[in-house]
């Protein structure tokens, strides 16, 4: 059985121990039935991970650090997914799956054809928890960042690195070919991927994106649902940049 992993604030970690408190104590003891002598992994969101042995202290628990290592789950390539707001729980599916595969940031985006409204604070809290749980489960070393909601214009203006806009109308430039053709120097520590809502991007949005250096790319001859397209684009990017080959 794999060892349980938990993100904690960095100030819980000292030279040799980890302070465990509150809800995590309850979860370890009463939900996972773990106690003194069991091992868990603590992550401090800096890219380090700490294997600790649990020890009873007073009424609570602390972790004694027995091994510290760089978490292997962080890709070198930083992918930010600019995802148009979409209906229902599909945005959550995107956050969960894209965290698992290695996306490093999410920007919820308001586009002309969005029908979904902007998230309230409850929904944003739920999205943060989905990212946290997916990052713990998939052995990420850092939590992907959920950035503030942006309008499409601001999103294009804020994009960094190689910036790609999957667009079903693009018939020439496939995403893989574009990534393979990058000069080695540009190869590519930062990639921004823009995915539209259920109704796609408007003509103005495509034109504006180009004027900001956000280039349209094809994901193939089939029309993917909005919740599929970002995952496919991120997987192809990670594959083309050599991030899906294990640690060898
Ligand atoms: N309204 C469009 C239509 O029916 O032709 C489909 C929009 S699609 C459901 C939502 C988003 O997924 C698009 O804005 C685009 O970013 C992306 N997408 C879907 N299929 C794609 C493809 N074959 N190539 C590139 N992008 C695609």
Task: Look at residue 170 and tell me whether its pLDDT is greater than 80.
Answer: yes
CATH number 3.40.1280.10 given to 78-240: yes
User: pLDDT tens digit string along 152-161?
Assistant: 999 999 999 9
What the block records as the tokens of 143 is: 């939590």
Answer whether 167 contacts ligand 1 (Cβ < 6 A).
yes
Of 88, 45, 101, nearest to 243 (Cα)? 101
Q: 């995802």: which residue's tokens?
A: 83
Q: What is the dihedral of CA 160, 164, 166, 170, to 10 degrees?
A: 150
Give the residue, out of 109, 113, 167, 225, with the most ligand 1 atoms within 8 A of its beta carbon, to mutate for a pocket test.
167
Q: How confident is the model at residue 63 (pLDDT cuts 50, 70, 90)?
A: very high
Is any atom of ligand 1 closer than 6 Å to the C-beta of 174? no
What confidence score (pLDDT) does residue 201 get?
Answer: 98
Q: Quick check: helix, strand or coil at residue 158?
A: helix
Residue ranges per structural domain of the chain: 5-70, 78-240
Please state which CATH class domain 5-70 belongs to.
mainly beta
């Amino acid at each position: 059985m794999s060892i349980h992993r938990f993100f904690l604030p960095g100030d819980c970690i000292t030279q040799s121990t980890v302070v465990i408190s509150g809800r995590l104590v309850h979860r370890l003891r009463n939900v996972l039935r773990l106690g003194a002598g069991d091992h868990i992994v603590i992550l401090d969101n800096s890219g380090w991970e700490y294997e600790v042995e649990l020890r009873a202290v007073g009424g609570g628990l602390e972790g004694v650090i027995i091994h510290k290592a760089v978490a292997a789950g962080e890709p070198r390539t930083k992918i930010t997914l600019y995802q148009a707001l979409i209906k229902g729980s599909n945005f959550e599916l995107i956050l969960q799956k894209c965290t698992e595969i290695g996306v490093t940031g999410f920007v919820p985006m308001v586009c002309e054809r969005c029908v979904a409204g902007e998230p309230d604070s409850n929904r944003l809290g739920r999205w943060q928890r989905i990212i946290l749980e997916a990052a713990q489960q998939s052995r990420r070393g850092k939590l992907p960042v959920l950035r503030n909601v942006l309008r499409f214009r601001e999103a294009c203006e804020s994009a960094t690195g190689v910036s790609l806009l999957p667009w079903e109308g693009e018939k020439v430039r496939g995403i893989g070919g574009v990534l393979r053709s990058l000069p080695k120097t540009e190869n590519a520590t930062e990639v921004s991927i823009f995915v539209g809502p259920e109704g796609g991007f408007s003509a103005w949005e495509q034109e504006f994106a180009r004027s900001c250096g956000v280039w349209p790319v094809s994901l193939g001859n089939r029309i993917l649902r909005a919740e599929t397209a970002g995952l496919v684009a991120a997987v192809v990017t990670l594959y083309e940049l050599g991030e899906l080959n294990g640690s060898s």
